[in-house]
Structure formats: C-alpha cells, structure tokens
Structure 1
C-alpha cells in the first residue's frame, strides 16, 4: 500500500492512522498482526514521516508492506541528505526519533533514489 502525504505536521498523525488501519485489516491466509506490533509500526511510521515532512522539504510517500513474518515501512522524500542521530540530554524536547526507530526495527537503512531524494526503510519483525 502506498500513500502520498503533504509537507505538514498533521501528516504524521494521518500516517499513524493509515498504518494502524492497514495492519489491523484481516488478510486472507495471513496471520493477524498483534496490537503491540501495530503500535510499534505506527510509532516507526510517525517518526519517519515527521522527519520527512520536517527535514525533507517536500511531501513524502509512505509505502507499507506486510507478510506473516514482517512489516516493511518505507518513507520517501526529496531531500538527498542522510538523517542524522542527534545527541540528546534529559532536557531535550526532540531528537530521539531515529534512535526509537533503530531500537524497534529489525533492520534500518537509508538509500538514495533515482532522480534525487532518499528512501528510509525500517523492517519490523512480527
């Protein structure tokens, strides 16, 4: 499933909702995705879409795929720059998103896309 999300703060909430609906739908001949895994995937999506709309300087595309073993989240934006992990303190109000994604995801990678921009992918084992 693929969605195009505008460059605005509300896109993260919409992406969470779309992810929860997509993963919560029963699929013929596929195991159900548990509530905890849906929550983890929605958090990953929220963080990646927030980064894309905040730092990508463009709308973004969210692509979701699932199998019985994993959920793959891909977020595309027009900024070719690599996301950076920031140093955070206990007083920091942000900067923990990529660290959360890396903790929750079985695999995490960033790759340039033809024509400019990048794809950020996180794979969650279910």
Structure 2
C-alpha cells in the first residue's frame, strides 16, 4: 500500500464485555495516510478489509450496502482531507453498537460545510453525498486540525411498510 504510513489494530473486546459497555469497540483500526499516489484506493481497501474481518472474526452482520457505502464515505472524506489540508491524514475505523464509525482527522482547522444541492455544479459534492448516505455525522475542531466522524449501520434496515 503506497500511501499508508502506518496502521495499528487495537485488540477486540470480548462480546460479553460489549453487552455491558455498548459504546466499546469490537474492532478498531487506525491508519496514517501520507497522500501518495494510490492513497485513497488504499484507504478504501483498508475499509473493505476491516469490515470483512469484522464479519469473519466477530461474526458481525455486514451488508453489501454497508460495505459499499463505507468505502464510498472513506473515499470522499479522505479525498477532501488530502485536497484541503496539508500534512498527514489519519483514518480510524471502529465497529461498535451495530455500526461502523469512520473518522478522518486532518491538520486544517476549517470546518467543512455542505453546499446546497446543485445538479449543475461540477465537483464539490463529496460532503453532500456523505451526509446523504450516513446515519450520523459529526465534525469537531481539535487542538490541531479537525476530526470528521460518519456512522453507518452494518446491517440493512427493513423498509417501512414491508412485513416478512
């Protein structure tokens, strides 16, 4: 992986411990990205591998939709971080409470804002897309830079009005 500076995996918490601590992560991965060619593709691959391991190692349900959307969100958030902030970018993936949290940290303290929908605008739709597909979204200014967290459910939710 060309653009990955370093990756770290935290040891998973036992499933029985998670029933008592619902916000504790079952799995977590932190990756430092340097912005080299291929970095965004590497970040997407890290997300896919991480969620595949969540399925195989922890027996967690990860829908095809969650897998695809997680890679899309990672791609958009990492792209924005590399485009607008100098220096390294950190990608953190965390599974807890039936969802994957995708967090991207960069060195620019400027908080992003989604623009109004405009089909004629070329480009700059990334944040708009992310906010349309995630279940939760948070932006926090940090002592250095900012941290953006998006949350996606791992399992598909039943559509309203459909009964099995």
Q: TM-score, normalised by structure 2?
A: 0.70
Tell me which residue corresponds to 1:27.
57
Describe the SS at the equivalent of 1:27.
Answer: helix
Q: What is the aligned counterpart of 1:6 among 34, 39, 55?
A: 34
Tell me which residue corresponds to 1:99.
128
Deviation at 1:34, TM superposition (A): 1.6
Deviations 1:52-95 (A, max 9, x none): 00001221000000135100000000000011223564343311
Q: Say yes or no: does 1:121 pair with 2:121.
A: no
Q: What is the aligned counterpart of 1:90 among 119, 142, 145?
A: 119
Deviates more, 1:3-12 or 1:85-94: 85-94
Deviations 1:6-48 (A, max 9, x none): 13453221111110111012123x3231221110011001000
Of structures 1 and 2, the one with the larger relative CO (CA 8 A, separation 6+) is 1
8 A Cα contact 1:106 1:125, kept in partner = yes
Larger radius of gyration: 2
Tell me which residue corresponds to 2:92.
63
Is there any run of 5+ residues in structure 2 with no aligned partner, and where? 1-28, 155-164
8 A Cα contact 1:7 1:57, kept in partner = no
Describe the SS at the equivalent of 1:94.
Answer: coil
Q: TM-score, normalised by structure 1?
A: 0.89
Is there any run of 5+ residues in structure 1 with no aligned partner, and where? none
Describe the SS at the equivalent of 1:50.
Answer: helix
- RMSD, aligned CA: 1.6
